Amino acid sequence: MEKLNTLIQDEAALNLLVQKARQTDAVALDTEFVWERTYYPQLGLIQIALSNEECYLIDPIAIKDLSSLGKLLSDRSVIKILHDAPQDLTILQRATGAVPQNIFDTRLAAGFSDFPATLSLANLIKELLDIDLAKNETRTNWVKRPLTDGQVDYAQDDVRYLRAIRVLLLTRIIGPKIKSWLQEELNLLNNPANYNSTNDDGRYRKIRGSSNLGRRGLAILKNLAIWRDGMAQKLDRPRGHIIKDTGLIEICKLQPEELESLASETSLSEKAVSRYGKNIIAIISATKEQDPSLYPLQKQPTRLNNNEKKTLENLNGLISLKCDLLGVAPSLIGNSSELKQLTKTLQINKPEDIQQLRQTSGWRKSFLVDFFRQNREQ
């Protein structure tokens, strides 16, 4: 097969690289992008390693059609190794149009290998290979050409060691049961729903200040957030370039019915009011005309009674003990809010609510089997 240059800059070379990659058992992947003044990340580089020595850089600035790379991405017979995979996979799916399949996420695998599930790639490589990665290109402009030698070296190193890291992580996992738990989590990355939309219906609740709004204010915030997201996508601008989060909260508290109020009583710029004001007033008016029973419910903090606090303490103790024994990161079982909700829901004993908790299905249910057994016996 024809020898390839390190930098792949045309479709013919990309086709050859993909052909070569699909003949291997596993490849390492990563992306470099710029994400400052656009809604969608601007893809600057795609790194792929077939071995420690065969590290290639695909130039998406020069190659407009990346569909052949999509054939590799969706090929179930080849393992694609990434670190902290979801964001890179979303970017690659959008660039290639292919749904990622057979993914191995080394950050996730670290959490089943007696490491924290939040370990950076640099720290993981240091722990397992005692190699220090250079960090001098972390803020580089990846869409600027030509690439410097430093950029090329940095980008290659991000994929150079991933194949070895995967092998070492798998050797650290205690037994086939834990490996099956890891595979269950990895299989979630095959779901096309992860990559079909950038919308998040619950995003509005993450906006700072949303918890202080009443139900109508929340409904207005939800509708404004959906409108802003669509506008940001259409213009390919960050959400905050349309209207900042603080501006949305101001609007939802004031709930103006006239452009004059919107202009004089909020921090929106004259340009924003001129460009988006009529839409904002229309959304507020339409929301006010909705049936109030359809407004989002305010989230109430989960408060535990003394008995539930004792149960949560036992749950955390069991998780800590078992995680130490099995080499599983406690954060993979659930965050503090989830465990609090699990404790509360079990005490209330509402089957429909229990089924919605991820701790009551799959490998997490197996992990917590002793806790559920103790709960039933009480």
Residue 19 has pLDDT above 80, yes or no: yes
At residue 140 the predicted structure's pLDDT band, cuts being 50, 70 and 90, is confident
Residue 328 has pLDDT above 60, yes or no: yes
Question: Within this chain, do residues 171 and 71 fall inside the same structural domain, yes or no?
Answer: yes
Q: Is residue 88 part of a domain?
A: yes
Q: Domain count of the chain?
A: 3
Q: Is residue 301 part of a domain?
A: no
Residue 349 has pLDDT above 90, yes or no: no
Taking residues 200-226, what's their average pLDDT?
93
What pLDDT is stored for residue 267 in this prediction? 93
**92-124: per-residue pLDDT in tens?**
999 999 999 999 999 999 999 999 999 999 999
% of the chain at pLDDT higher than 70: 96
Taking residues 295-312, what's their average pLDDT?
90
Residue 26 has pLDDT above 90, yes or no: yes
**φ, ψ of residue 126 in degrees (nearest 5):** -65, -45
Which of 140, 165, 194 is a domain's end point?
194
Q: Is residue 264 part of a domain?
A: yes
What pLDDT is stored for residue 336 in this prediction? 94
Residue 376 has pLDDT above 80, yes or no: no
Range of 319's domain?
306-377
Distance CA 253, CA 318 (A): 44
Contacts with 335 (C-beta within 8 Å, 6 or more apart), sequence order: none
Ranking 8-22, 106-120, 214-228, 290-304 by mean pLDDT, the lowest is 290-304
What pLDDT is stored for residue 355 in this prediction? 65
Taking residues 130-158, what's their average pLDDT?
90
**Residue whose structure tokens are 């503090």:** 336
Q: Is residue 66 part of a domain?
A: yes
What pLDDT is stored for residue 301 in this prediction? 81
Task: Read off the CATH number of the domain in which 82 is found.
Answer: 3.30.420.10
Taking residues 231-254, what's their average pLDDT?
96
1 vs 372 pLDDT, higher one:
372
Q: Is residue 1 part of a domain?
A: no
Distance CA 229, CA 212 (A): 22
What pLDDT is stored for residue 374 in this prediction? 83
At residue 276 the predicted structure's pLDDT band, cuts being 50, 70 and 90, is very high
Side by side, which strands form the sheet with 7-8?
7-8, 55-58, 42-49, 26-34, 79-82, 103-105
Paired strand residues for 82 = 105
At residue 257 the predicted structure's pLDDT band, cuts being 50, 70 and 90, is very high
Question: Within this chain, do residues 280 and 372 fall inside the same structural domain, yes or no?
Answer: no
Question: Within this chain, do residues 187 and 237 fall inside the same structural domain, yes or no?
Answer: no
Task: Read off the CATH number of the domain in which 358 is found.
Answer: 1.10.150
Q: Which two tokens stand for residue 347?
A: 């005490």
First to last CA, the chain: 68
Question: Within this chain, do residues 52 and 171 fall inside the same structural domain, yes or no?
Answer: yes
Q: Is residue 2 part of a domain?
A: no
Task: Read off the CATH number of the domain in which 272 is found.
Answer: 1.10.150.80
Q: CB–CB of 255/237 below 8 Å?
A: no
Taking residues 307-315, what's their average pLDDT?
94
Spell 9-21 as b/e; 16+ CB within 10 A means b: beeebbebbbebb
Q: Which two tokens stand for residue 89?
A: 């996979």
Question: Within this chain, do residues 124 and 267 fall inside the same structural domain, yes or no?
Answer: no
Paired strand residues for 46 = 31, 58
At residue 299 the predicted structure's pLDDT band, cuts being 50, 70 and 90, is confident
**189-200: per-residue pLDDT in tens?**
999 888 765 556
Q: Is residue 299 part of a domain?
A: no
Question: Within this chain, do residues 239 and 258 fall inside the same structural domain, yes or no?
Answer: yes
At residue 156 the predicted structure's pLDDT band, cuts being 50, 70 and 90, is very high
Q: CB–CB of 264/229 below 8 Å?
A: no
Question: Within this chain, do residues 22 and 128 fall inside the same structural domain, yes or no?
Answer: yes
At residue 345 the predicted structure's pLDDT band, cuts being 50, 70 and 90, is confident
Residue 275 has pLDDT above 90, yes or no: yes
Question: Within this chain, do residues 207 and 175 fall inside the same structural domain, yes or no?
Answer: no
At residue 354 the predicted structure's pLDDT band, cuts being 50, 70 and 90, is low
Distance CA 77, CA 88 (A): 20
**What is the Rg, in whole angstroms, of the alpha carbon atoms belonging to the chain?**
25
Which of 294, 323, 352 is a domain's end point?
294
Question: Within this chain, do residues 127 and 265 fall inside the same structural domain, yes or no?
Answer: no
pTM over the 0.75 mark: yes
Q: Is residue 300 part of a domain?
A: no
What pLDDT is stored for residue 247 in this prediction? 97
Which of 294, 319, 344 is a domain's end point?
294
Question: Within this chain, do residues 108 and 210 fall inside the same structural domain, yes or no?
Answer: no
Question: Within this chain, do residues 166 and 263 fall inside the same structural domain, yes or no?
Answer: no
Question: Within this chain, do residues 15 and 132 fall inside the same structural domain, yes or no?
Answer: yes
What pLDDT is stored for residue 135 in this prediction? 78
